[in-house]
Structure 1
Amino acid sequence: MAEILDIVDEQGRPTGQTVPRAVAHAEGIRHRTSHVWILRRHAGRVEVLLQMRCQAKDSFPGCYDISSAGHIPAGCDFVESALRELREELGVTLPADALQECGVRHFTFEDVFHGRLFKDNQVSKVFCLWLDKNAEDFTVQKEEIDYVRWFGLEEAIEAVKNNTIPNCIYLEELEMVAAATR
């Protein structure tokens, strides 16, 4: 069954029209996503949980990414989708008030994955979530994620800035999350 997304305006408000996810990415149609960055304080520093995207992903296979993220199905909202993705991808069930909103990002990009042009045009709400849990205690969704790993937040920022780990992380977003920890 095709995943159906709301087409949204520049502020991320649904226009009343929908589109299959594959069409949104083939044509660069604006849609919404929720991004949740999981944080903890460990050994005297702030750490961020990154997921390793599995090789079957339609974009950025084998790259480190946001702790949990996903497209927002038509008719759903940012928080509802963020909580659903946490449950599905990492086996984490929490109330909505556990999420701390960090801001909204708008971005577009194009690249080729698996021999096909991929156009992304997103309005993303960014959240952080404080959760002290060992990486091996998360129940990862194997269709999406190979594994998760904790990084020092500053180490992750430097790794993304210097491109020393394979990643599809926007530095601006990671810095937005870092600002929320201060």
Structure 2
Amino acid sequence: MEQEKLRILNDQHESIGVADRSEIHAQGLWHETFHFWLLKKEHGTVYLYFQLRSPAKKDFPSLFDISAAGHLLADEQPSDGLREVEEELGLSIPFEDLTFAGVIQDEIHLPLFIDREFCHVYLYMNQEEQMEVHLQKEEVAGLYRAKLLDAQQLLTGTCERIRIEGFIVDANEERHEESIEVGVHNFVPHETAYYEHLFHAINQILSQ
């Protein structure tokens, strides 16, 4: 399979070339991604949604992560990242309906690769009473939500466990609803600074 070509950047977010995705991760080069965070308000409570990564994923299998996300290819703009939302969650949303939360730097260091991202982060408040999602089983095993305040406390380190609710799709494509208790170890290890920026942006937007 032909390698994805991604734009390489310096730490000032200036484009300095193009390289294969595998080379970028092996060398820890800065590149760009699209992050989509889904929110919903019910009975005065705001919820933040997390996807459960498929157990078949090479990186971070069976961990909770951003509602939908993906790499931006060398010739793409942030608006092209919307394909990830459609592919992973089956949601068709116009780009103009998203709220820009900023470009956040995020680094994840693992024994075999270093992931350095400039993340173009967007928020979407779902207004539908019933949200119809269709998960891409190769990528996503389930969709869960946490109360925004609970998620903020857990992911910025001020509490150890929270309760989340959602569903998982099994190998027979049957959907199982559940409410479970999770800790920070159940989530992809994004930097605390990433989450602090994210929640600051969310709370600022909600207060407008």
Q: Same fold (TM over 0.5)?
A: yes
Alignment-derived partner of residue 117 in structure 2: 122
Contact 1:4–1:21 at 8 Å: present in 2 too? yes
Code of the aligned partner of 1:37: W
2-side partners of 1:11 and 1:69: how far apart? 22
Q: 1:163 to 1:57 in 2, by over 3 A?
A: farther
1:76-118 Cα deviation digits (max 9, x unpaired): 011221x111111111112111110011111223113xxxx12
Ranges of 4+ aligned residues in structure 1 off by more than 6 Å = none
Q: Helix, strand or coil for the counterpart of 2:152?
A: helix
Contact 1:40–1:48 at 8 Å: present in 2 too? yes
Asked if 1:180 is matched to 2:181, the reply is no
2-side partners of 1:58 and 1:179: how far apart? 35
What aligned pairs does 1:66-77 form with structure 2 within 5 A after superposition? 66-77=66-77
Alignment-derived partner of residue 5 in structure 1: 6
Report the TM-score, using the length of structure 1 for normalisation.
0.87
1-side partners of 2:58 and 2:129: how far apart? 28
Q: Helix, strand or coil for the counterpart of 1:10?
A: coil
Alignment-derived partner of residue 167 in structure 1: 187
1-side partners of 2:31 and 2:197: how far apart? 18
1-side partners of 2:151 and 2:79: how far apart? 25
Asked if 1:150 is matched to 2:145, the reply is yes
Deviation at 1:44, TM superposition (A): 1.7
Q: 1:177 to 1:154 in 2, by over 3 A?
A: same
2-side partners of 1:51 and 1:148: how far apart? 5
2-side partners of 1:11 and 1:110: how far apart? 20
1-side partners of 2:60 and 2:128: how far apart? 26
2-side partners of 1:118 and 1:111: how far apart? 5
2-side partners of 1:135 and 1:7: how far apart? 40
Report the TM-score, using the length of structure 2 for normalisation.
0.77
Alignment-derived partner of residue 164 in structure 2: none
2-side partners of 1:34 and 1:90: how far apart? 15
Alignment-derived partner of residue 23 in structure 1: 23
Alignment-derived partner of residue 106 in structure 2: 107
Computing the radius of gyration over CA atoms, which structure comes out larger, 1 or 2? 2
What aligned pairs does 1:43-82 form with structure 2 within 5 A after superposition? 43-81=43-81
Deviation at 1:43, TM superposition (A): 2.4
Contact 1:135–1:148 at 8 Å: present in 2 too? no
> Which of 1-10 and 41-50 deviates more?
1-10
% identical equivalent positions: 30
Runs (5+) with no aligned partner, structure 1: none
**Cα RMSD over matched residues?**
2.0
